[in-house]
Amino acid sequence: MTSAKTSPRTLLVVSAHAGDFVWRAGGAIALAAARGERAKVVCLSFGERGESAKAWRAGNTLEEIKAIRREEARNAAAALGAEIEFFDAGDYPLVETHELVDRLVGVYRELAPDVVLTHPLADPYNGDHPAAARMALQARVLAQAIGYDAPGEPLGAPPVFFFEPHQPEQCDFKPEVLLDITPVFDRKRKAMECLPAQQHMWDYYTDLAKRRGVQLKRNAGPNLGLAHDTMGEAYMRLYPQVTDTLA
């Protein structure tokens, strides 16, 4: 389907914590940036309480940890070629409020994203992730309503993709879309390395990208000559694909 929009495409990523957008969607973000698109990450919290164990063990205060994670996330976003906005909404728990949703509506109306990425709606290990997803989805719906009181034009219907959670089987996550991130994997790895607080994740998400790359090749068809080192990211779609040609 063609879009009437003439400005460059835009990508919005709603991330609960400082590292989530890097591990799970860094390839998609880097690909968008490499195409000259505008990519924006909204980071709802720094993951200061729940995803910064190393910094706590080192004896830092809460405010110090927030500053460390902010800097890391900013560097990671820059490595991917994305803008980043921090809502500093607190984590463990990330509490859903209308104020946060309304702020997200403002982002939707300003950015008019063509694609939205966020967490899946189920995660028995981490309530912040589904909370972020629910707020991202609610804000999308409100931003579409002409009568909702926020600056800017009503939003269209950008497709929403859920990125892969850390424990996919427990989160009812099944790869429905496999994205080839081979050309930008180096950038994703560099972005991951901006997050030393979670160094244990670097190799894990490199290995995951290899496995998703193998699956990508298999689903692209046999013997198509794709590079052996294909790297992939997996996504689920929330809303139906809209098309005039099945493909």
Find all residues with CB under 8 Å of 48, minimum gap 6, and list them.
Answer: 62, 65, 66, 69, 90, 91
Q: Residue 199's CB: how many other CB atoms inside 10 A?
A: 11
CA 159/CA 172 separation, integer angstroms:
19
Report the residue number, 114 or 128, with the smaller CB distance to Zn ion.
128
CA-wise closest residue to 14 among 46, 50, 37, 40: 40
Q: Residues 160, 237: contact at Cβ < 8 Å?
A: yes
Residue of minimal Cβ distance to Zn ion: 17
Dihedral sign, Cα of residue 190, residue 195, residue 200, residue 206? negative
Span of 17-25, 78-86, 170-178, 193-201 interacting with Zn ion by CB under 5 A: 17-25
Interacting residues with Zn ion between 19 and 48 (CB under 5 A):
20
Q: Give the whole-angstrom CA distance, residue 130 versus residue 237.
A: 15
- Span from 8-16, 66-74, 154-162, 231-239 in contact with Zn ion (CB under 5 A): 8-16
Query: Binding residue for Zn ion (CB under 5 A) from 17, 49, 140, 212?
Result: 17
Sketch the per residue contact string, 83 through 122, with Zn ion: x for CB under 5 A, - otherwise: ----------------------------------------
Which residues in 138-177 contact Zn ion (CB under 5 A)?
A: none
Q: What's the closest the beta carbon of residue 48 comes to Zn ion, in angstroms?
A: 11
> Contacts with Zn ion: how many residues (CB under 5 A)?
3
Which residues here bind Zn ion, judged by CB under 5 A?
16-17, 20
